[in-house]
Structure 1
């Protein structure tokens, strides 16, 4: 499997979260960890972000089905 890296701004666009919230979730182990790609640069593994988003959708749908 080939892994693509995406930068933080793309993660922010995809999740709708702020930078501070992404870092808070990462510190609690509730969001995929970043990969250091340079002295002052990070990125995220695209497939991990996609999986994380998909899991949020599944959890949301399950929640609404239980309360219908």
Structure 2
């Protein structure tokens, strides 16, 4: 596997990474305030790991502004 290949993160893991509940993640998604999910099936989504880490980094950077 290529180290540069995208990695997908489940909704549960995205919630853990951001210290948010699944409900809050879904609310942010609905409001367009969270990285866009990748549809994996009728009821399954995942997020691109690098997009999540970039989003987290932006939140951290915004606190210093």
Q: TM-score range by the shorter chain?
A: 0.7 to 0.9
CA RMSD of aligned residues (A): 1.2
Aligned to 2:20: 17
Aligned-residue offset at 1:3: 1.1
Q: Which has the larger radius of gyration?
A: 1
SS of the residue corresponding to residue 44 of structure 1 reads strand
Are 2:5 and 1:2 equivalent residues in the alignment? yes
Report the TM-score when normalising by structure 1: 0.81
Cα offset, 1:39, TM superposition: 2.6
Q: Going by fraction, where is helix more abundant, 1 or 2?
A: 1
In structure 2, list runs of 5 or more residues that go unmatched: none
TM-score, normalised to structure 2, is: 0.85
